[in-house]
Structure 1
Amino acid sequence: MDRLHGFPQPFPDESLYSLAVRYHRLLSNDSYRRTSHELFGVYSRTCGSILPCCLGALSQRLASAYSVEQLIDRFTLLPLYEPFLNDTKSRAARIAMAGDDGTGLKMSLGITASGFLKHASFRYCERCVEEDIQHCGSTYWHRIHQATGTCICPLHGEVLCGTTFPNGADWRCMLFPAEVAGSPVMQVPCRPAAGELSEMQLWGLEHPAAVRNLLVGDFLWHRLDEMGFLKAGRVRLQTLKSFLTPRLLCSPRGNEFQELNCSWEWVLGVVRPRRTVVQPLKFYFLCWLLEAGLEHLKSFLPQADIYGGEATEGSNTGVPAEESEIEARRQAFSSSKNVKCHEKPGYQWLYRHDREWLTQYVSAHPFIRRMTGLVDWAARDEALARNLLIARDQILFTQGKPQKVTRAALNRRVAHSQDFLRMPDKFPISTLLMSDMLESDHDHQVRKVRWAVRQYLLPERSALSVVYRFAGIRLSHVTEEEVLDILSVAKELRLTSGSP
């Protein structure tokens, strides 16, 4: 196997694709195909990926100056994803990147299913370009800039630019950042939020072991507990939804966040994943939604099992908390409106760090379950009966075409209608009264005919079809004699009153 006699010296946080571009320019190769065969021994279609393959062949061509593990850890984004993988998936990913076949790698890591790939682009920071030329003599592609959800440079706080390759080409043009026109990947609003996320992702990329400790220690569950979103080991969904909804509206405007800010339900999949790989962006974005910044991630020490309500035996590290923090925790705990002490925010923290004060507080504020008075069903039955009579009169004297007195129409106009329907044995008077008040089809049509005769001044010789049409009757439940009687009575009333 041919050895490489000229390979660029890596710059800080440089991606493998950037090294390939610099090698391509250094040797003045005429095509990416030639560069790929020199570096990897094959025509690799993953060199421009955040998870490139063929690294085993590259390591051998470099005379083991860099092992496969070093190439992966220093020049790819796998360290950003690895804390969220189990050992099996992690080993499989590294084996795939060492070999020459990366088919299904992004799918196995959940990247394809996340929907983030369609928003991917080669990104750069204009400030970084200027400083790289000044200090390194050349610009290069920074690894963290290519991470999903990184819209702000974590070093300079500037909005990144997405590269558009000329003439519809792709990364095989082997270009440096800013050699072609780029456009901002997000609007100016929400820059602080996007900046915090970029800083957290950079820290996660550089400290995968610390991120693993966050996941093993259930950082998100501890955070939910501190903010009062847990009750008896379960998430208080409605309370959490009410808190997250306005926060999502203030989320960054980058394209990747369109997959997240339209709903909050993905949060549950991050808090308690079920055999799925959590995407780093979702984890850090949820940290921001829960008002946890980079300092919270760095200072987290898993010390308690929040499911059982007590600190885990032997979990106390012996590091005393500062007096100012203890006083702030006490104040937040005391001012909480929750009646039960173990549901107040910070209960577990105080249990670990200030148990004596917590014990005294709980003793002085015992939870007493209040017994509600028994319901006077007889009085409620009488009140409901009166309301039913009022509702019946409202229906009968409603202006316009007569409405039928039905069970549903009555229930819509009275209080405790649900109790009445579910517990009819508690309302014997009302049940009997309603049975008597319900109107039959015949009685309802008689009222409709009388209304139509009065409303439209129908003469005594009107055809039945005319009466039925004005009354809105399709299937008749009244007899011809009843209709003629109503017409006759209406005529006598008009003669008596002197109406035409």
Structure 2
Amino acid sequence: MSVAMPLPYDGESLYSVIARYLEAANITAPTFALNTLFGTVARPKKELICSLAEFSRQTDLAWGLSALEIAQRYTVAPYYAVYSTQSRRTAAYAAITARDGIAPAVILQVNKSPVARNAGLRYCPRCAMEDVLEGRRPCWRRVHQLPGVFICPYHRVPLLSVRDPRATKSGVYRLDPAEHVSSWRRNAEVQTAMEISADALVRSEPQPHLRSAETEWLQLAADRGFVKANGYVDTEAIVNGLTEMYGGAYLEATGLDMSRLQPNPWPARLIRCRNVAFHPLQYILLGNFLERCDNTARRIRADLAPSKARVVCPNQYASHPAGHIIDHIRTSRTIAGKSRYHGHCRCCGIHFTFSGCSADTNIPNDVQVTQYGKDLCGAVQTMRNEGLSFPAIERAMGLPPRAARRMLQRPDEKPRARPTREQLLEWRCEWKELLRSVAPEGHLAAAMRNKYLYNRLCQYDKEWLTQCAARYENLKNQNVASEWARRDQAYKIRLQRAAATILSAGPSLVRASKVAIAAKAGLSVRRMSIRHKLPLCDAVLAELAESAEEFQVRRLEAARQTLVTADIPVTRWKLLRQAGISRVKNTAVAATVDRLIDRHSQSQSD
């Protein structure tokens, strides 16, 4: 059977073409139609990286394309293939043209990655408007669905997202993510990463300049000065460089954020592990970072000299020309000890913070606006006078939700009253209680638990909060040994109670292993990083843990009691069946079986 599938538009995804076909054919239950198109009962994912042999046969008269040509032109398969090894790429292309076998998405490991997948389908409002002006149905473009692409590469505007294609009829959409897209548009490295991702869609084979799975990453890192003299990779320098180059918000949005607490972050694994498949976005970000670095100096400046720095104003709606140098920069330290820079442009009135800037462009990275200034407020007022709503203004300018409404508040409104001395003391007590609840963690964990209280103290009582953090850090270093000793005593009692509960439970018996005892107590004391700090817990677990033979003996005794209660003769095969033991291979277990049978025989004779 041949299907009259509509011809795809330039850059359209196969998912969009099928959606237009189902809409034109007025098919309300697409399950049967999809099964017919793909020749399978398993519904493929929205990327449609699957076997397209049956689909190519059904659309041969309309399109005249092979399965491989359809995959390369209208799916995101080339994006994953060009960054894979030659063997995986060949196997994936063979699976696309085959009618059965392993799915190409499994070979390319599309779904096995820490990279965050798009919750819905993304589209560019200007691309959709161009489709309407050309007299055709707006379509989903495959470049907009790539992981890590939040800005249209053609129009440089933020992409909108819908969770369901049918939701566009009711206008249900959201900006993803709203508060950071404006800063990503000013970050040249983020733009470069998105352009490399879009360029991978038009390539069927990897190019020499692409950093893929076949690249000697360890040698490349050594050439850029990221391998120490002892042969170890300088993980901290790479993690800090990636975070400052792309910004923590972008890495978090893509699911590739790295914490200092991670013992083995993904850049270190990618550099050290050979013949291990990673996501294309990981290759793109790390490859672009290493390309921008040289062997003598890092291209990302970790510290700026405030008196000598020349930083470009990030305000795109300012009255001054582009490339204007801001007037004032000061440095502050966060509770974690990191540097944070505060910039102020007197010409447009904007106040913002940033983590650093590129050495060759002087463009600030990871910009967070604290005061918008008169020029931004004037631009919002102009768009408001033109009849645009506040959400529309925020989407167009890349502002956080409700920011446009706050910018147009009347200046005669009363400012928020400063807290009284009693309120500050109350907040301090709440913060101390919060620190006790998250102990032995510090101020960062408390700030994550209650950001509202942390922000209030930072705004109105920052000096006390900084001193409290310093005191807590010193106290933590002094009392860490006594704290672990106290926890060791408390955990030992909980482990003993958990073991007693497991041994006395019934009728379903559970082996009192070390893992089971720790799980019953709700403790994680088996980790290698803390076992040496809890010697009592380690000794108690070794003493209370039940071996496999002891567990079989306990099951046999419980089985004998069950048979006696039910007035059933205790024989060997009945005893073993009741205990769930197929074969007796241990002498102690065999002796227990004989002893229980003899005891039952003696009781019957008496």
- Structure with the bigger percentage of helix: 1
Structure possessing the higher radius of gyration over alpha carbons = 1
TM norm structure 2: 0.41
**TM-score in terms of structure 1 length:** 0.49
